[in-house]
Amino acid sequence: MVEIENRIQKNEALTDDMAMKLAMQESRLGLGFVNPNPAVGCVILNSKNHFLAKGHHKVFGGPHAEIIALENLPTDKPKEELLKGARLFVTLEPCAHEGKTPSCAKALAKLPFAEIVYGLIDPNPLVAGKGAEIISQAGIKCTHFGKWQDNLEETCEHFLMNFRHKRPFVSLKVASSLDGQMALKTGESKWITGEEARIHGRLLRATHDMTIVGKNTIMIDDPHLNIRHDDFPEKENKLLILDPAGETLSKPGLKIFEIHRPENLFIAVSEETFADENIQNSARGLATLISVKLQPDWNYNLDQMLGKLWDLDIRSVLVEGGALALSSFISQGKAHRLYLFQAFLILGASTGKSWSEQVKIESMTERISLRNPKVKRFNQDLLITGRIN
Ligand SMILES: NC(=O)c1ccc[n+]([C@@H]2O[C@H](COP(=O)([O-])OP(=O)(O)OC[C@H]3O[C@@H](n4cnc5c(N)ncnc54)[C@H](OP(=O)(O)O)[C@@H]3O)[C@@H](O)[C@H]2O)c1
């Protein structure tokens, strides 16, 4: 990115790869603000491939990235003059339809662009290619970028999963020692990672619709589990506790009940517990109960649970532990992305608690490999992330 910034500063030409990379970086600025819409970024180059403007979709229901980039054009020359022979790079095919906002493809088709380059084809087969067609019919070259599809998909993976499977996107977040432990057997886990990694963990709460944790984590750690991040000062997250017998309700002094408003707090209980009038009474004014089927192995049927969350308009969830909660999402094939914060310390297998303790891999053919893995350094920790499913 440094080279791209330098070239822009010196008013030097950008390559197509650079323009799309910049558009991808721009798209990420919308994460946590645009859901359930996709995060989309856009860059405009002039006829000599010099940078003119960039923009991203900022808020759900607001103007799309292409329109924001057009609004960000320099004002020293008329728009028509600036855009003569210009090229626009956008991470997702311009929309063909009129929804909450007018059609971007139609808006672009009226301008003197030489070319529109888009990263991903619209995932809706009924409209895929329609935006490109409107632009081509106006005599503007319209090109599918074709490269880096994994990286481009990553920028709007929640949206793509929602669209294709009508289920929330599931991310797992864990802080682990070098030997794969997430806590000591005593239950102690504060803190495995440093402050910077923990701040990033809270950012992930803001970019998902709901945080999910198991009952033991609540009982042992008494955590806040709210966002507390400078980029999202106003945002409140929704929280779901996996607590089949509703035990957390007998401890109303827990921090989660003080911090999270009842409309944002949910407890997944078994069908049997849900039918218990006393539990219903204890939950009143504290949290909403969701009834979920327990399987013969005493784990929830997560497909049923995710279906119920979908019906509550939850489009992405961040599972933060403990070991049982994380393991069950992996075992039932319901985890899509892992965020593993790797601390440079050892806790010992006999004294520690492994975060994947319930995951059973009988042969190397069953091992789970991360797709498109990435590593980022946070001061004293690493973040390793990649797609599981
Ligand atoms: N390092 C980290 O990133 C991190 C993050 C969070 C927690 N932790 C640590 O993890 C430890 C707790 O882990 P844990 O494995 O004991 O507990 P957990 O997953 O927090 O809670 C386990 C309990 O929650 C319920 N539960 C969880 N998943 C379920 C599912 N899929 N279906 C049905 N019920 C489910 C069950 O309650 P019932 O027993 O009532 O059936 C289960 O016994 C703590 O020491 C905590 O400090 C570490």
Best mutation site among 202, 216, 255 for ligand 1 pocket (most ligand atoms within 8 Å of CB):
216
Read off the pLDDT band of 147 (50, 70, 90). very high
pLDDT in tens, 25-34: 999 999 999 9
Read off the pLDDT band of 126 (50, 70, 90). confident
Best mutation site among 217, 240, 271 for ligand 1 pocket (most ligand atoms within 8 Å of CB):
217
pLDDT in tens, 248-259: 999 989 999 999
Which of 5, 12, 66, 247 is an active site residue?
66
Q: Average pLDDT in the 242-250 region? A: 98
pLDDT in tens, 66-115: 999 999 999 999 999 999 999 999 999 999 988 778 899 999 999 999 99
Atom of ligand 1 at shortest distance to CA of 184?
45
- The single residue listed with the structure tokens 């017998």 is 245
Q: Average pLDDT in the 279-297 region? A: 97
Whole-number mean pLDDT of the chain? 96
Atom of ligand 1 at shortest distance to CA of 213?
20
Sequence-ordered list of residues with C-beta below 8 angstroms from that of 108, at least 6 positions apart, any chain: 66, 88, 94, 116, 135, 140
Rounded to the nearest whole angstrom, what is the distance from the C-alpha of residue 152 to the centroid of ligand 1? Answer: 34
pLDDT of res. 305: 98
The two structure tokens encoding residue 282? 């204890």
pLDDT of res. 100: 78
Of the candidate ranges 97-106, 239-248, 275-284, the one whose mean pLDDT is the lowest:
97-106
Atom of ligand 1 at shortest distance to CA of 298?
33
- E strand or H helix at 375, and its extent? strand 371-378
- E strand or H helix at 242, and its extent? strand 238-242
pLDDT in tens, 162-201: 999 999 999 999 999 999 999 999 999 999 999 999 999 9
For residue 357, give the nearest of 334, 323, 309, 332 by alpha carbon.
323
pLDDT of res. 97: 84
- The single residue listed with the structure tokens 């070239």 is 7
Q: Average pLDDT in the 330-357 region? A: 97
Q: Is the dihedral of CA 233, 238, 242, 246 positive or negative?
A: positive
Radius of gyration of the chain (CA): 23
pLDDT of res. 125: 81
Rounded to the nearest whole angstrom, what is the distance from the C-alpha of residue 165 to the centroid of ligand 1? Answer: 27
- Residue 337 pLDDT > 80, yes or no? yes
Residues with CB under 6 A from ligand 1: 174-175, 182-183, 187, 189, 192, 213-217, 220-221, 242, 244-245, 298-300, 320-325, 328, 353
Q: Is 196 a catalytic residue?
A: no
**Residues of the chain above pLDDT 90, percent:** 95
Q: Tell me the C-alpha distance between 385 and 272, whole Å.
A: 37
The conformation of residue 155, written as its DSSP 8-state character, comes to H
pLDDT of res. 362: 96
Q: Is the dihedral of CA 188, 190, 191, 197 positive or negative?
A: positive
Sequence-ordered list of residues with C-beta below 8 angstroms from that of 287, at least 6 positions apart, any chain: 241, 249, 257, 262, 265, 266, 267
**Residues of the chain above pLDDT 70, percent:** 100
Q: Where are the alpha helices (DSSP H) in the chain?
A: 2-9, 16-28, 65-71, 79-82, 104-109, 130-137, 149-155, 157-165, 195-206, 215-221, 255-259, 271-274, 277-283, 302-311, 323-331
Beta bridge partners of 368: none
Read off the pLDDT band of 24 (50, 70, 90). very high
The two structure tokens encoding residue 355? 């975060």
